């Protein structure tokens, strides 16, 4: 049985060439630029988001390399032979001017790294790029529910990012990406740099809400005939759960940033005890948004993994419904645990309650991990790049999740809080989890997006460099942190130096890995082999579209006849049945 009821009757050419691929040029370069700049096609907007995200990821990465470079050596003040005291080991000193010290420069690079990576890269990340491109395709829709709003969200995002980057261009801020008061309200960095950064965050929030709203309505309203809620691919479930958090949590950061701007410019006193305010109030506001946001960052990654793991292991997903419900469960619990970022600044009872609640987050998360591992069991695993990244994700995210437990435990967090252990933890979840899953998804869907295959061998080399580089950079940070290395310091006691050197060398391996991927992707665009409609034998609807998809996605509205992971019952579309023997005894539904 074919999985789609193609009205035309014959399978393979699903509407090929009705309007031509969405990538078809409009004639001249200017016509193309005008066409892309005003497009309401979710696929083009997805590609535009991807491009902007990669540029920002590169800028954030440069800042990370600068931070690691400074930490190669501790700052030492030594007395030289002439009896003068000399400061050594400040590798970013050459950037210091206008009264800024090398330590200021370090703090600004660290802040800019954090702000770019969270607000500008990982929060919009997967939903805005892969989500935009694939959500409509996967539910068999022509586009998202509000295509113009979608284009608007891209412009708002770019505009907000420019504000934040403008702040960096004129010197940057050194508060840390968390913008904690009283530091952010009292630091003597000039007002406008701070206000520019905070305004940027405020503006980007709207982009996030616009995307979230659009996706919620799209999932409710635009599913193809026959696609019930439990026929939706798990990537769609994940993006849906994420969209709900985006809509509900983002207004909180909007109001928080506004309050901060007013506090800074007009001394409102909301966070200033001398005027009756409370600095911890800021932390409550900040984390009421920023904890749910860590699930905006990770849920889409979970969605990607559910797709890549089934396709490249050719197995129905284990526990479909529990994964779908776990996404919603995580979204719900994420609103109850913000206080675990503030154990050291709140009362004992409050802290104990937040500690208790935090453990509930681990339950749906663990359910997912068990389901993915069960999906691999007895699967026909293909060790290509998407699968290597998928396995890498399982390994790294598990370390990231489990190391969250000692942080959730009140007693142990007293020691670990604000140490390098926390830095290692969130990099294992955000980089080891989200970025690694992003790379899994990017390789998995690359042929569909651009109609070209990437070269497998250099991509695998890239994977190993990234995977080993990542662990070299970040694993040692757990140990450093547990031994007392605090986060956000440019200098440190000598005994930590050997660990910092290992970590910095790891950052260079990461750089090498990303460069290999960059060249592999550019090579694929220019000289890659033409991709077929379904190079991996996937079952979800995007594999029914052409590679790259037709401008209007599908020639005929698809009618869904089976679930997204029926690998045991149905020959995947565009796959030769002779090459795809189904199990002997199956109960055909
Ligand atoms: C099993 C699940 C998890 C648990 C129990 C957990 C627990 C915690 C706790 C208690 C802290 C605060 C530590 C401190 O500052 O002393 C923390 C920090 C953090 N976590 Fe997690 N976490 C989990 C998963 C995640 C995920 C999935 C993400 C993101 C994708 C994430 C991102 C972060 C970030 C960004 C911070 C540090 C924020 C900062 O202070 O700059 N965590 N985690
Ligand atoms: Cu949290």
* 266 CB-side CA count, 13 A: 6
Closest ligand to residue 287's CA? 2
Which protein residue has the closest C-alpha to ligand 1 atom 14? 417
Closest ligand to residue 176's CA? 1
The answer to whether the CB of 414 falls within 8 A of the CB of 344 is yes
Rounded to 5 degrees, what are φ and ψ at 78?
A: -120, 155
pLDDT score of 569: 87
Ligand 1 atom closest to Cα of residue 301 = 30
How confident is the prediction along the chain (589 residues), in pLDDT tens digits per residue? 334 444 443 344 444 445 689 999 988 999 999 999 999 999 999 999 999 999 999 999 999 999 999 999 998 888 989 999 888 888 888 888 767 788 889 999 999 999 999 999 999 999 999 999 999 999 999 999 999 999 999 999 999 999 999 998 888 898 999 999 988 988 766 788 999 999 999 999 999 999 999 999 999 999 999 999 999 999 999 999 999 999 999 999 999 999 999 999 998 899 999 999 999 999 999 999 999 999 999 999 999 999 999 999 999 999 999 999 999 999 999 999 999 999 988 888 999 999 999 999 999 999 999 999 999 998 989 999 999 999 999 999 999 999 999 999 999 999 999 999 999 999 999 999 999 999 999 999 999 999 999 999 999 999 999 999 999 999 999 999 999 999 999 999 999 999 999 999 999 999 999 999 999 999 999 999 999 999 999 999 999 999 999 999 998 888 888 889 998 888 888 888 888 878 765 554 4
pLDDT score of 86: 87
Residue 269 tokens read as 């006193």
Ligand 1 atom closest to Cα of residue 417 = 16
Residue-wise pLDDT tens digits, 14-71: 444 456 899 999 889 999 999 999 999 999 999 999 999 999 999 999 999 999 999 9
Residue-wise pLDDT tens digits, 401-456: 999 999 999 999 999 999 999 999 999 999 999 999 999 999 999 999 999 999 99
pLDDT score of 302: 97
Ligand 1 atom closest to Cα of residue 297 = 30
Task: Give the environment of ion ligand 2: residues with CB less than 5 A.
Answer: 291
59 CA from centroid of ligand 1 (Å): 24
pLDDT score of 9: 37
Q: How far apart are CA 209 and CA 161, in angstroms?
A: 16
145 CA from centroid of ligand 2 (Å): 32
pTM of the entire structure? Answer: 0.92
pLDDT score of 14: 43
Q: How far apart are CA 490 and CA 495, in angstroms?
A: 15
Q: How many residues in total does the chain contain?
A: 589
Which protein residue has the closest C-alpha to ligand 1 atom 19? 426
Rounded to the nearest 10 degrees, the angle between the axes of helix 279-313 and helix 320-333 is: 170
pLDDT score of 155: 98
Residue-wise pLDDT tens digits, 87-137: 888 888 888 876 778 888 999 999 999 999 999 999 999 999 999 999 999
350 CA from centroid of ligand 2 (Å): 15
Q: Which residues surround ligand 1 with Cβ inside 6 Å? A: 178, 294, 297-298, 340-341, 358, 361-362, 365, 401, 404-405, 407-408, 413, 416-417, 422, 425-426, 429-430, 433-434
Q: How far apart are CA 141 and CA 144, in angstroms?
A: 7
Q: How far apart are CA 53 and CA 157, in angstroms?
A: 10
Which protein residue has the closest C-alpha to ligand 1 atom 37? 426
> What are the start-end ranges of the H helices in 418-485?
420-429, 436-450, 456-482
Closest ligand to residue 335's CA? 2
């Amino acid at each position: 049985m074919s999985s789609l009821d193609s009205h035309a009757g014959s399978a393979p050419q699903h509407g090929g060439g009705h309007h031509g691929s969405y990538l078809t040029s409009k004639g001249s370069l200017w016509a193309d630029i005008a066409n892309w700049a005003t497009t309401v096609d979710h696929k083009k907007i997805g590609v535009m988001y991807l491009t902007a995200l990669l540029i920002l990821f590169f800028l954030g990465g440069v800042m990370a390399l600068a931070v690691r470079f400074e930490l190669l050596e501790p700052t030492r003040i030594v007395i030289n032979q002439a009896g003068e005291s000399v400061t050594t080991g400040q590798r970013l000193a050459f950037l210091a001017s206008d009264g800024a010290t090398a330590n200021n420069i370090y703090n600004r690079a660290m802040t800019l790294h954090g702000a770019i990576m969270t607000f500008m890269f990982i929060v919009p990340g997967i939903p805005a790029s892969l989500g935009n491109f694939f959500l409509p395709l996967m539910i068999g829709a022509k586009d998202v529910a509000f295509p113009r709003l979608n284009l608007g969200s891209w412009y708002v995002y770019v505009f907000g990012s420019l504000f934040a980057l403008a702040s960096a261009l004129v010197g940057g801020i050194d508060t840390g990406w968390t913008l904690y008061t009283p530091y952010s309200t009292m630091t003597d960095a000039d007002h406008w740099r701070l206000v520019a950064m905070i305004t940027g965050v405020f503006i980007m929030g709207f982009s996030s809400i616009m995307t979230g709203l659009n996706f919620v309505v799209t999932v409710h309203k635009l599913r193809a005939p026959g696609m019930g809620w439990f026929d939706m691919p798990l990537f769609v479930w994940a993006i849906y759960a994420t969209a709900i958090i985006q809509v509900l949590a983002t207004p909180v950061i909007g109001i928080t940033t506004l309050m901060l701007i007013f506090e800074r410019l007009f001394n409102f006193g909301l966070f200033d005890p001398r005027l009756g305010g409370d600095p911890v109030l800021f932390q409550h506001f900040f984390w009421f948004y920023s904890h749910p946001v860590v699930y905006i960052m990770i849920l889409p990654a979970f969605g990607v993994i559910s797709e890549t793991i089934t396709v490249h292991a050719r197995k129905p997903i284990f526990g479909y419904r529990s994964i779908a419900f776990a996404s919603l469960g995580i979204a719900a619990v994420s609103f109850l645990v913000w206080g675990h970022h503030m154990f050291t600044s709140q009362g004992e009872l409050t802290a104990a309650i937040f500690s208790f609640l935090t453990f509930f987050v681990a339950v749906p998360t663990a359910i997912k991990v068990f389901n993915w591992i069960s999906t691999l069991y007895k699967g026909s695993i293909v060790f290509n790049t998407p699968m290597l990244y998928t396995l890498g994700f399982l390994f790294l995210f598990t370390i990231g999740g489990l190391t969250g437990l000692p942080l959730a435990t009140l007693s142990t967090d007293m020691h670990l809080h604000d140490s390098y252990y926390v830095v290692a933890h969130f990099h294992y979840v955000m980089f080891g989890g989200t970025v690694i899953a992003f790379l899994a998804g990017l390789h998995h869907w690359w042929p569909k997006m651009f109609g070209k295959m990437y070269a497998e061998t250099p991509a695998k080399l890239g994977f190993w460099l990234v995977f080993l580089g990542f662990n070299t950079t970040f694993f040692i940070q757990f140990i450093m942190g547990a031994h007392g290395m605090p986060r956000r310091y440019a200098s440190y006691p000598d005994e930590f130096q050997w660990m910092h050197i290992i970590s910095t060398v790891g950052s260079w391996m990461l750089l090498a890995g990303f460069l290999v991927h960059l060249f592999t992707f550019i090579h694929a665009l220019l000289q890659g082999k033409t991709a077929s409609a379904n190079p991996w034998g996937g079952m979800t609807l995007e594999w029914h579209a052409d590679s790259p998809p037709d401008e209007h996605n599908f020639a005929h509205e698809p009618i869904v006849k089976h679930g997204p992971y029926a690998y045991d019952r149905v020959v995947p579309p565009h796959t030769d049945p002779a090459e795809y023997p189904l199990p002997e005894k199956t109960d055909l539904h």
